[in-house]
Structure 1
Amino acid sequence: MPRKPVLRAVEPGETSERETPKTILQAAESGCRLDELRAMRRRIARALDDPNTPARDLAALSRRQLEIGKEVEAIEMADDEDRSVIANTDDEDWDESAI
């Protein structure tokens, strides 16, 4: 799961600094894989919520939505070293006698 943002009280007159979500094209051109996946996930979610989406497309869209969600989660977990399954350790000296 993504890390929860740190919350704080806003100052009087302060506004939100929310970023406008990127389109898929903008995300692809930026070169950030995570932004691209998030934009694709939003687009598919929009299609899934649309009552005019053909029923024949719902299964494929749902499956792809789940796949993208897993990819996003894996990238976010890899970025968060505390929860990653990959250990970043130093190389050990070679011990020939261990063979």
Structure 2
Amino acid sequence: MAAQVRAVAPEERLPARKRAKTITQAAKSGTEVELLEALQARVARAVQDRDTPPRDLAALTKRLMDITRELEAARVKDQEAGSDGAVTADETWRPQAL
């Protein structure tokens, strides 16, 4: 799928990016997804850091993969639960749909 491209007016600005919470902020007042995102970013930085001892890399990498799976599951759970707060109307019952 090709990206949509359009001309922009000179006064148009990019929307402000939502700043990620720190682990402490997410633990204190964030959602499960925000906490997992903060943990994922922190562990990923540790894995990438050249000063991380080689003996720690296996455990950190495994934990990073675990957090990634937990994060995906939490996002799916939020989507299924309608976490965006949208209220949807009930559908009309149609017996022929059975």
Q: TM-score, normalised by structure 1?
A: 0.67
Which position in structure 2 is the counterpart of 1:69?
68
Which position in structure 2 is the counterpart of 1:88?
none
| Shift in CA distance, 25/8, structure 1 to aligned 2, threshold 3 Å | farther
Deviation larger for 13-22 or 27-36: 13-22
Which position in structure 1 is the counterpart of 2:77?
78
CA RMSD of aligned residues (A): 2.0
Separation in 2, partners of 1:55, 1:21: 28
- Could you list the structure 1 runs, at least 4 aligned residues long, displaced by more than 4 angstroms after superposition: 7-11
SS at match of 1:75: helix
Separation in 2, partners of 1:26, 1:8: 37
Which position in structure 1 is the counterpart of 2:22?
23
Separation in 2, partners of 1:13, 1:71: 38
Separation in 2, partners of 1:37, 1:19: 16
RCO comparison, higher one (Cα < 8 Å, 6+): 1
- Kindly provide the amino acid, as one letter, of the partner of residue 16 in structure 1: P
Separation in 1, partners of 2:31, 2:38: 11
Task: For residue 80 of structure 1, report the CA deviation from its aligned partner.
Answer: 2.1
Deviation larger for 15-24 or 63-72: 15-24
Which position in structure 1 is the counterpart of 2:45?
46
**Any unmatched runs of 5+ in structure 1?**
1-6, 82-99
SS at match of 1:80: helix
Separation in 1, partners of 2:64, 2:19: 21
**Any unmatched runs of 5+ in structure 2?**
81-98
Identity %: 43
Which position in structure 1 is the counterpart of 2:54?
55
